Amino acid sequence: MTDIRAAITGVGGYVPDYILTNKELETMVETTDEWITSRTGIKERRILKGENKGVSVMGIEAVKDMLAKTHVDPKEIDLLIFATVTADMTFPATANIVASSIGAVNAFSYDISAACSGFLFALTTGASFIESGMYKKIVIVGGDKMSAIMDYTDRTTCIIFGDGAGCVLLEPTTEDVGVMDSILKSDGSGESYLHMKAGGSRIPASHQTVESRQHYVYQEGSAVFKFAVTNMAEVSAQLAERNNLKPDDIAWLVPHQANKRIIDAAASRVGITEDKVMMNIERYGNTTAGTIPLLLWDYEKQLKKGDNLILAAFGGGFTWGAVYVKWAYNG
């Protein structure tokens, strides 16, 4: 165990103004507010409207929000990592666009692609750089513009996803707070259940790929659901056990917001009650890499120094994991 830990010292977030309600979805696909609410817990999601607006727009706003609250000079930022599967372009990295735009002129920056687990993978990567002593200020952004890759004729998928981005600032501390432990996993055999077929180097974009709707998310929902329920719950419980965290020791479970039934299963496996589970799925839906930092953003005021948080996610890849964070400041 190193003497230096990576503390989360600030949080920022951004969701677009446009609200896509279940009622509006009822006019787009054959569905009902009752079905969506009872099967997923989602009532509405945010959509980034307008021409030529990529996920960077939301990432920039989220980082600006964090910088305004923490009074950090962007020139002091050493590294910015952006977790996303809806990058502005295949290259360059969206992290580069965000870093330049916010004036992080001394930072290097890159993207991480791990779907719904992207924020946890990026957070752990950033924490390791801090713990090694290499860098002092690292921004971790998680966000996705899922509406850009959503087939709004596919009722099994379009009802879940939304747009949004959040971020945290990591700084070194010698106190007993920060990123304490993590378990991260991936399994490439999950590819067949959740992916976007075309637009990469295997199947580049063509008239044919557009006509056959291959630039949208393909998801076999019920298969993904089964993997998600088991793995997100299991990894959260393992992490709690190996850190000797009993249910009473855990202040908050911070679960990826894909489906309320998956969240409930994880909470029950860890043994904690609903009042200690962060939740905003009803307002934002599934923003992929955005869900966990957006939860921290929404709940920041309720957090107290020393609170034990278990962050947990499951998503495309498959990728999944849990991170144990001891909160570093009073919200």
For residues 36 and 57, which CB has a smaller minimum distance to ligand UT7 in the complex? 36
- Window contacting ligand UT7 (CB under 6 A); options: 121-129, 135-143, 153-161, 272-280: 153-161
| Nearest one of 295, 325, 310, 163 to 240, comparing CA atoms | 310
* Distance, CA of 47 to CA of 85 (rounded, Å): 16
For residues 96 and 157, which CB has a smaller minimum distance to ligand UT7 in the complex? 157
Q: How far is the CB of 55 from ligand UT7 (least distance, A)?
A: 16
Q: How far is the CB of 40 from ligand UT7 (least distance, A)?
A: 5
Structure-block tokens of residue 100: 């330049």
For residues 129 and 314, which CB has a smaller minimum distance to ligand UT7 in the complex? 314
For residues 114 and 328, which CB has a smaller minimum distance to ligand UT7 in the complex? 114
CB 290 within 8 A of CB 148: no
224 binds ligand UT7 (CB under 6 A): yes
For residues 14 and 320, which CB has a smaller minimum distance to ligand UT7 in the complex? 320
Residues noted as catalytic: 116, 256, 286
Q: How far is the CB of 285 from ligand UT7 (least distance, A)?
A: 10
Please give the residues from 225 up to 244 whose contact with ligand UT7 meets the rule CB under 6 A.
225, 228
| Nearest one of 287, 32, 328 to 179, comparing CA atoms | 328
CB 33 within 8 A of CB 26: yes
Rounded to a whole number, what is the distance in angstroms from the first to the last CA of the chain? 27
Output the CA–CA distances (angstroms, integers) from residue 276 to 72, 140, 269, 299, 309, in the order listed.
31, 24, 14, 11, 10
| Neighbour-count burial for 125-161, b at 16+ CB within 10 Å, e otherwise | bbbebbbeeebebbbbbbbbbbbbbbbeeeeebbbbb
Please give the residues from 40 up to 69 whose contact with ligand UT7 meets the rule CB under 6 A.
40
The site string for ligand UT7 over 93-132 (x = CB under 6 A, - otherwise) reads -----------------------x----------------
CB 284 within 8 A of CB 154: no
Q: How far is the CB of 264 from ligand UT7 (least distance, A)?
A: 12
Quick check: helix, strand or coil at residue 33?
A: helix
For residues 38 and 330, which CB has a smaller minimum distance to ligand UT7 in the complex? 38
222 binds ligand UT7 (CB under 6 A): yes
Determine if the peptide bond prior to 92 is cis (ω within 30°): yes
312 binds ligand UT7 (CB under 6 A): no
Residue from 18, 21, 26, 31 in contact with ligand UT7 (CB under 6 A): 31
Structure-block tokens of residue 15: 């969701």
DSSP at 298: H
Q: Quick one: CA dihedral 186, 97, 137, 278, positive or negative?
A: negative
For residues 172 and 255, which CB has a smaller minimum distance to ligand UT7 in the complex? 255
208 binds ligand UT7 (CB under 6 A): no
- Window contacting ligand UT7 (CB under 6 A); options: 1-9, 134-142, 218-226, 303-311: 218-226
259 binds ligand UT7 (CB under 6 A): yes
Q: Site size for ligand UT7, by CB under 6 A? A: 21
Cβ-in-10-Å burial (0-12, 13-18, 19+) of 307 comes to middle
* Distance, CA of 259 to CA of 280 (rounded, Å): 11
Residue from 11, 102, 165, 258 in contact with ligand UT7 (CB under 6 A): 258
35 binds ligand UT7 (CB under 6 A): yes
Chain residues in the site for ligand UT7 (CB under 6 A): 31, 35-36, 39-40, 116, 155-156, 159-160, 221-222, 224-225, 228, 258-259, 262, 286, 315-316
